Amino acid sequence: MEDNLRHMWDVVDNPAKWLVGWKEVNKRRIIGCAPMFVPEEIVHAAGALPVVLWEGSEPITLAHNRIQLFFCGIARGIVDLVLKRELDFLDGIIIPDICLPMRYLPGVMQFNSAFPFQFVAYLPHDSRRPSAKPFLVEELGRLRSKLAEFMGVEISDDSLRRSIQVYNGHRALLRRLYELRRKNPGVLKAGEMMAVVASGMVMPKEGHSRLLAELLPELEARKPAMLEGPRLILSANLCEWPKQDILDLIEDLGGVVVDDEMYVGRRYFTTDADSASPIEGLADAYLNMAIPNPIAMDPTNRWGDYLLKMARDNQAQGVISLTVKYCEPHGLFYPDLAGKLSQAGIPHLMLEIEHEVVSWGQFKTRIQAFLETLRRKK
Amino acid sequence: MAERLVRRLETTKLMKGLSDGLWSDVRHAREQGKKVCWTFGPVPFEPLRAMDIPFQHLESYGARVAARQAHGELKEVAHACGYSRDMCSYARITHGRRILEQRGEIHRMNPDVVYPTPDFVAAIYSCPTQILVADNFARNYNVPAFIFELPFWSEQSEMETVRKYFRRQMDEFILFLEEMTGRPFDYDRMRQLMVNTKKAAELRWECIQLCKAIPSPMTVFDQFISLGPIHGLRGTPQSVDYYEKLLAEVKDRVAKKIGAVPEEKYRLYWDNLAIWFKVGALSEKLASLKANIVISSYSHHPWRYPEMVNPDEPIQSIVDQFVAVWASWTLAHSMDEITKLVEEYSLDGLLMHSSHTCRPHDIGQFDIMDVVGRRTGVPGLMIDADPTDPDFYSDAQVNSRLEAFMETLAARKKRMGS
């Protein structure tokens, strides 16, 4: 188990280095998929390795000659990694048009990178409309054609079905891990869970699934730890890997993370695709996400309902919302999530996360105070 | 008070009355038994007019509130309720108003900024943020929302896909309006509106083209003020009347070689939205430096293809215009357009408004300065500001940057021997 976790940490500590090594051995192409929701199965079926792009852990420098500071860390981080030539190993990049920075990132990529394959995938924002699915099916078909042309292969329906099954299998294993954590919150630290999911976004799914399949029985055999601290749900942290240090801080101060609906978390693996008619299945999986899509229309506050239900189902005493600074899908929704939790009497805390975290002292004080409040309420 | 340097166009003085009329229509909608729509982004307005639905436009509301100095309080209300200061300033202003209204405290506000709540909302993804704001309003007012998806296109095949998708969405919008009003869509009225849209677009385009004259008869601030008729008043006879008057005045200036800025020495491009609360002050500042901003992406683009408008095919005309203008606005396209503007409008420099909270056109500005600069030789200057939030504006910084930039342009002109 330790070896498997160590392997995952190696990937997470330096994903670019790991991928360069992987490419040298496997001699296969790698396509970067900017977060969120790019249907990686299509890339997998083409024979390339799809990797969900990350923010980078170094201070952002060169990117600020190309993109202003008041954009989210993931947009600036990806530009910075490109300009520092740390993503040169990528053979291509797919960017989903889901929000403002992602809509305009392709332009910067076009003028500042030389990826042989660049594709923008427009993902609709209102799944209720009759026009949404036919468009998305056509859009995913376009990705399939362009990728097939680039890779010099045919992407058959059968190959797509196989890829969907691989991904569904991977998702099932991650769901099993998360169910295990719900029953036994101490089974892995929140930072370790993040490393498991994030490494799964970088590694080939087959290999990661093998590591998970070995890891799970050992974790399932562990006796539940008696953690007495306030039970917590972590929300959102859209697109980006949650900061390890913040996750550690929450737990070091006594918080017990029991579940999450973060992107590098449940959102990545909760919804399976139906492989019968594969492109349609992928379109349906996007349009009907099990966890309400934060970039799509949600006029009845299904996100709030979901978060509330998650808190209640887990007997959580509080919710910590991790808001990526400048993230508009979360920032413009957050007051309504907070309102829903407040009405239900569930305490919540919002932490604004920046790429370079400079306010550790504040975070510590605020989290401490929040947890004290929860302990007193108990 | 110091005498103004800029020669203001008489026609632009009509905008206040026209704008007040538009807002009055919204204010009195309910007593006239009409539905009210709030719009976010350059939604197709003609179908709303065709169905006699007054609409409140988010961006215009933000500008109106800012002009009446009421934005500060509204923003603070929004901040106190959890909306980050870094979010879209138009959204924060309108959220603040919604929150006060829902608390029953709206009577404290300047009556000029109080308008009916929406019966439904409509938005377009030309700015992704607007979709989120529309969603938020639908959620908080418990009203239906319609959004237009707007993929970008780069190649012809992609354009056809986008055109087909947008047409399908326009048809859905028509059905939506029929559902909202309980009436069949009035295609006859729609065709009449598009006659006016075509005429207004033609007249406005002619005015814009005349700014190629040296000296330019207009400043970009005149162009910004004159956007009202092609946005909120589009389709109305008043919009045609306005642009007829504007064109007559502009032609007269060109014939007499009267520039908007006396002693126009430097001709500039403005990228991005206006800084609405500094329109007058910046035009005077630039005039004092003998500079005139003669064109902007923001004033150049809207309805710039009037030849595509066929009033007998009103819905398809809107589709074609949106696909040609809004869906083509990629960075590569922008660069090509701005490169052409440098030559066509005899530009000496580029002013890039890097807007803190209104961000659709921010990403790529560095590359535009670099690439267009290399292609044309003209230098660029970035100005940090915001369309409606003075928290992100500093007179000292902006003025000193402009002064330094003019020195650069002066040196360049001297080197080029002009």
- Whether B88 and chain A come into contact, CB under 8 Å, resolves to yes
**Crossing angle of the two packed helices A73-83 and A100-112, in degrees rounded to 10:** 10
pLDDT digits (tens, 9 = 90+) for B305-346: 999 999 999 999 999 999 999 999 999 999 999 999 999 999
Rounded Cα distance, B394 and B385, in Å? 8
What does the pLDDT read at residue B136?
Answer: 95
pLDDT digits (tens, 9 = 90+) for B94-103: 899 999 999 9
Q: Which of A97, A134, A333 sits opposite B136 (nearest CB)?
A: A333
- A104·B149 Cβ contact <8 A: no
pLDDT digits (tens, 9 = 90+) for B169-202: 999 999 999 999 999 999 999 999 999 999 999 9
Residue of B278 and A124 predicted with greater confidence: A124
- Whether B147 and chain A come into contact, CB under 8 Å, resolves to yes
What does the pLDDT read at residue B69?
Answer: 78
Q: Do you know the residue count of chain B?
A: 418
Mean pLDDT, range B108-125, rounded to an integer: 90
pLDDT digits (tens, 9 = 90+) for A36-52: 999 999 999 999 999 99
Q: How confident is the model at residue A315 (pLDDT cuts 50, 70, 90)?
A: very high
- Whether A230 and chain B come into contact, CB under 8 Å, resolves to no
Q: Please state whether A216 falls in left (phi above 0), alpha (psi between -120 and 50) or beta.
A: alpha
DSSP string covering B263-324, please? T--EEEEEESS--GGGHHHHHHHHHHTTEEEEEEHHHHSTT--GGG--TTSHHHHHHHHHHH
pLDDT digits (tens, 9 = 90+) for A7-37: 999 999 999 999 999 999 999 999 999 999 9
What is the predicted ipTM? 0.95
- Whether A333 and chain B come into contact, CB under 8 Å, resolves to yes
Q: Which of A97, A101, A131 sits opposite B169 (nearest CB)?
A: A131
Q: How confident is the model at residue A157 (pLDDT cuts 50, 70, 90)?
A: very high
Q: How confident is the model at residue B2 (pLDDT cuts 50, 70, 90)?
A: low
What value does the mean pLDDT of chain A take?
Answer: 96
What value does the mean pLDDT of chain B take?
Answer: 94
What does the pLDDT read at residue B372?
Answer: 98
Helices (H), B153-186: 156-181
pLDDT digits (tens, 9 = 90+) for B243-302: 999 999 999 999 999 999 999 999 999 999 989 888 889 999 999 999 999 999 999 999
Write the CA distances from B387 to A205, A355, B70, B285, B384, integer angstroms.
46, 26, 15, 18, 10
pLDDT digits (tens, 9 = 90+) for A256-281: 999 999 999 999 999 999 999 999 99
CB-defined contacts A:B, below 8 A: 141
What does the pLDDT read at residue A378?
Answer: 66
From B61, B78, B97, B87, select the one nearest A329 (Cα to Cα). B87
From B38, B53, B6, select the one nearest B140 (Cα to Cα). B38
- A106·B359 Cβ contact <8 A: no
Model confidence, pTM: 0.96
- Whether B156 and chain A come into contact, CB under 8 Å, resolves to no
